[in-house]
A and B are shown apart, each in its own frame.
Chain A
Amino acid sequence: KAGVTQTPRYLIKTRGQQVTLSCSPISGHRSVSWYQQTPGQGLQFLFEYFSETQRNKGNFPGRFSGRQFSNSRSEMNVSTLELGDSALYLCASSGTGQGPYEQYFGPGTRLTVT
């Protein structure tokens, strides 16, 4: 099976702009979670989607949003970008939703805000 893929891999934006990141899960997986990774802060949970519904949400401002499509692909959007949003954004997919279950990560999108 193909692994989790993310596009784009690298992105440079300026403050105030918005950005959309995409994640394609492993075939058959129904859950997609998003994480922000910054040096020293580890992996901070953004949100999780399961069967097109947001199932969990982390402690991020409303500028961060996401959605999931019927084919389980997911997108996250960040509006009004700030310098502090520069980070590696990782998505992870997992299976049937009958937890607990293994999560598999994509390669990430490196976002730089200038």
Chain B
Amino acid sequence: GENVEQHPSTLSVQEGDSAVIKCTYSDSASNYFPWYKQELGKRPQLIIDIRSNVGEKKDQRIAVTLNKTAKHFSLHITETQPEDSAVYFCAALNSGNTPLVFGKGTRLSVIA
């Protein structure tokens, strides 16, 4: 089955700097890659996703890139702000009715 590795497990950046979180997946048939943000005590919220027919997707300060050949995808946050501090989870799914598989999460701290 699918296996998703996520790095780093913790990340501290200065406010205004960029943050990058990377994930690798094992199932070459996976075709959907969402990213979730979970603030302390709250539910995971979908912040951006990408499908395998697209190499990059942007939404304001966040972007996700996908390299199907290398089987890895990354989340990029630019101009980080204290409210970006949270745990971020990547996930992968093969649309053939298999479950969404999550990475173990990255705790991002943005230092003002």
The 8 Å CB contact of B101, one of A45, A90, A105, is A45
State whether the Cβ of A11 lies closer than 8 Å to any Cβ in chain B.
no
A102 to B49, CA, bound (A): 8
Interface contact A90-B99, CB-CB below 8 Å: no
Determine the interface band of chain B, counting residues with CB < 8 A from chain A. 20 to 34
Q: Assess whether B102 is in contact with A108, with CB atoms less than 8 Å apart.
A: no
List CB contacts (< 8 Å) of A85-114 with chain B.
90, 92, 97, 99-108
Picked from B46, B95, B105, the residue with its CB within 8 Å of the CB of A100 is: B95
Q: Which residues of B contact A48 (CB under 8 A)?
A: 99
A100-B95, A103-B34 known; A43 vs B51 contact (CB < 8 Å): no
The answer to whether B89 touches A43 (Cβ under 8 A) is yes
CA of A90 to CA of B42 in the docked complex: distance in angstroms?
Answer: 11
A interface footprint on B37-62 (CB within 8 Å = 1, 0 otherwise): 00000111110010100000000000
Interchain CA distance A106-B44 in the complex, whole Å: 8
A-B pairs with CB below 8 Å: how many? 54
Q: B89 near A100 (CB under 8 angstroms)?
A: no
Interface presence of B100 (CB below 8 A): yes
Q: Are B34 and A102 in contact (CB under 8 A)?
A: yes
Contact of A33 (CB < 8 Å), options: B32, B34, B36, B99:
B99
Which residues of B are found within 8 Å of A108, using beta-carbon distances?
A: 43
**Which A residues touch B32, using CB under 8 A?**
99-101
26 A-B pairs within 8 Å (CB atoms) are namely A33-B99, A35-B102, A40-B104, A41-B104, A42-B102, A42-B103, A42-B104, A43-B102, A43-B105, A45-B100, A45-B101, A55-B97, A56-B98, A58-B99, A90-B44, A97-B97, A99-B96, A99-B97, A100-B32, A100-B51, A100-B93, A102-B46, A102-B49, A104-B46, A106-B43, A108-B43
Given contact pairs A90-B43, A101-B32, enumerate 13 new A-B contacts (beta carbons under 8 Å).
Answer: A42-B102, A45-B99, A45-B101, A55-B97, A56-B98, A58-B99, A99-B96, A100-B32, A100-B93, A102-B49, A103-B46, A105-B43, A107-B42
